[in-house]
Amino acid sequence: MHIEISLRQQRLRLIDEQEKVLRDYVISTALNGAGEQKNSYCTPRGRHLVRAKIGAEMPVGAVFRGRRPTGEIWSRELGEQHPGRDWILTRILWLSGCEPGYNRLGNVDSMQRYIYIHGTPDTEPMGEPHSHGCIRMRNHEVAELFELVPISTTVLVLDD
């Protein structure tokens, strides 16, 4: 089983060994587009692995900072108290690049760039680029995906 992310379509698909689409989600990738460079706020392309899964058993809407739960649960009121905050909610699938010089090591290392698949507030748009580089999903959908994929699942981020 693997994950394919289409930057053009703003979709994440979970695909089984027979190439059957098991799940198909609308997502949001980087507002700055595709790119691998550190500090670019772009979504890195290429082959990645799910290196870590963070947030098992946390409630939907749990807020994370530095990959640790804050004890907060996102609400519209909390969002209004912290305008402009880059909300990382519910679950984190931390990606690690597999292609040295392209998305691994040096100034292009996806893991060192803290590139995740994670939940986002319901007020954030889906189906259009809007993130700071990560792959944003609806909270109930990222919780579902989190349960379906093991660590080391391949993630292909494609321009198509």
Cα(36)–Cα(95) distance, rounded to whole angstroms? 13
- 142 Cβ neighbours under 8 A, 6+ residues apart: 90, 91, 93, 117, 118, 119
Which whole number is the average pLDDT over 26-41? 98
pTM greater than 0.85 (yes/no): yes
pLDDT in tens, 78-118: 999 998 899 999 999 999 999 999 999 999 999 999 999 99
* Residue 71 pLDDT greater than 90, yes or no: yes
Which whole number is the average pLDDT over 128-136? 97
Which whole number is the average pLDDT over 48-63? 98
The pLDDT of residue 84 is 86
Angle value at C-alpha 121, between 115 and 127, nearest 5 degrees = 70
Start-end of H helices in the chain = 76-81, 139-148
